[in-house]
Amino acid sequence: MNIIQMPALMLGQMIKNREISAVEAAQAYLAQIEAKEKSLHGFVTVDRDGALARARAAQQAIEDGTLTGPLAGVPCAVKDNIMTEGLLTTCGSRMLNSFVPAFSAEAVHRLEKAGAVILGKTNMDEFAMGSTSETSAYGPVRNPWNTDHVPGGSSGGSAAAAASCECAFALGSDTGGSIRQPSGFCGVTGLKPTYGTVSRYGLVAYASSLDQIGPVARNVPDCAAVLEAIASYDAKDSTSMKRDAYDFTESLRDDVQDLRIGIPSDYLEGGKDGVTGLSDDVRKAVLSAAETLKERGARVEEFQLNYVRYAVPAYYIIADAEASSNLARYDGTKYGYRTGSYDDLHSLYKRTRSEGFGAEVKRRIMLGSFVLSSGYYDAYYLKALKVKALIKKAFDDAFSRYDVILAPSAPTTAPRLGESLSDPLAMYLSDIYTVSANLAGLPGICLPCGFDSKGLPIGLQMLGDCFMEKKIIRAAYTFEKSRGPIDYSRCSREEAAS
């Protein structure tokens, strides 16, 4: 197996054993990036010199014994809405086209402490708003399995980079499914932790009450190891939770005998009243995965979750409202893009923002401002917060009976490029399986469970109760062991005829 195809932990082990050096690993990945970027565009910034310097430093620290962790020297990528000191951070937007942070996110600090080597910043939907990574001001990302298709979003760059072996693993962010859905579309493994598990300090806020940073990798153990490295209590983040335990890799056990797994029947309805839009391919694959887990000894059954159809509208009201406020700071006065000509203060604001933001971001800011405005706050925002409470209660009830909830990561496999943005509402509806976890603060992991007739990956999602990452990691690990490894060579090789 060549360097770039190794799972992160395997590479880390080989580096530790001095069989491979951190510099070699970085060089191999940088070469892969060069080979694949033209067709994928998974990166906004590739920091070649910085990466090699970091690799040399990591190697030195490994040799003198100060870096001993499993990810030391392992090359990775960071989504471009996560602050990296000294390295351009654009959030996929023209608005921050020249923004160089003066500090790094806490999660990035922790990765660096673990000795991981950052190769660059991955492309994404602008300000994390989108499900296809087509709204980036720097051009769309393409799905490595079929470059006519989207990789999903908003962490499409991270997922595509991981799948095409442009990095050993990547960090993404998830507000309504932005780690999980692209992981499903790109056939990689992505995890959104329980809200408050990974510090949000340094994550450019989209919807503060829903955002979390999480790992994207090519298998479950890598994901668990990265989560273990970046999760921590952070006093700089007032919503940070002090967890009892951070040893997530402890749960990498091939065993589901004690697990009760529930599949919401209201997730599986498709077709007729159009709530889920679930395709047959995906339904079959998910049910087949359920069978696999059953064979391994888990108790699997269907149940009624309730409130399923209301999750997406509640999510969009809350997320867009918070976003309209979080994005107000981008006004051309302190940093970022500024319009060329303006008459006065208000025209400076309006023109800067109208020119600096793309259509989807503007759409959400408009809606968010509206639902918070005088006269509408109670009917929309407050109402949505009440529905959020109902949805949380529904999950509390479900998790009193089940350890893991099984679901698709999306109703379909990856759509073609250019098909989704013309009907935003339809695009929003496809978030049906992922938004609830953000509303309720739950952890969720997505991993590949098959391919459709076109060879596009199908994603399986496992949701756990709050603070129950270990259970879903164990379930995912067990499934992965039965499923067998995924062959990423199809999407990591040099371009032949696509």
Residues in 121-160 that interact with other proteins by CB under 8 A: none
d(CA 249, CA 231): 12
Tell which one of 366, 397, 454, 489 touches other proteins (CB under 8 A): 366
Binding of other proteins by 477 (CB under 8 A): no
* Using rule CB under 8 A, residue 425 touches other proteins: yes
If binding is defined by CB under 8 A, does position 339 make contact with other proteins? no
DSSP summary character for residue 459: E
To other proteins, the closest distance from the beta carbon of 370 in angstroms equals: 5
Question: By rule CB under 8 A, what string of x and - marks binding of each residue 228-247 to other proteins?
Answer: -------xxxxx-x------
In the range 456-475, which residues lie near other proteins by CB under 8 A?
466
If you ran DSSP here, which 8-state letter would residue 206 be given? Answer: S
Q: Which is nearer to other proteins, 138 or 201 (CB)?
A: 201
As measured in angstroms, the least distance from the Cβ of 398 to other proteins is 16
Q: Does the footprint of other proteins cover residue 314 (CB under 8 A)?
A: yes
Residue 124 CB, shortest distance to other proteins, in Å, is 14
Query: 3-state class of 388 per DSSP?
Result: helix
Give the shortest CB-74-to-other proteins separation in angstroms.
24
Displacement of CA 474 from its chain's centroid (Å): 20
Other C-beta atoms closer than 10 Å to the C-beta of 371 total 21
Q: Give the one residue of 40, 105, 179, 447 binding other proteins; rule: CB under 8 A.
A: 105
**Nearest approach, Cβ of residue 284 and other proteins (Å):** 29
Alpha helices per DSSP H over 357-460: 359-372, 383-401, 424-429, 435-440
Applying CB under 8 A, does 381 fall inside the site for other proteins? yes
Is the distance from CB of 283 to CB of 321 less than 8 angstroms?
Answer: no
Any contact of residue 313 with other proteins (CB under 8 A)?
yes
User: Which pairing describes strands 117-122 and 189-192: parallel, antiparallel, or unpaired?
Assistant: unpaired
Contact 283, 268 (CB under 8 A): yes
Q: Any idea how long the chain is?
A: 498
Contact status: 370 vs other proteins (CB under 8 A) = yes
* Residue in the block written with tokens 């995965």: 289
- Contact range with other proteins by CB under 8 A, out of 145-153, 214-222, 265-273, 340-348: 340-348
CA 431 and chain centroid, separation: 13
Contact status: 209 vs other proteins (CB under 8 A): yes
As given in the structure block, the two tokens for residue 69 are 């962790």
**Interface mask toward other proteins for 273-312; x: CB under 8 A:** ----------------------------------x-xx--
Q: How far apart are CA 245 and CA 65, in angstroms?
A: 26
Q: Which residues are catalytic?
A: 79, 154, 178
- Residue 484 CB burial class (10 angstroms; 0-12, 13-18, ≥19): exposed
Nearest-approach distance from CB 81 to other proteins, in angstroms: 8
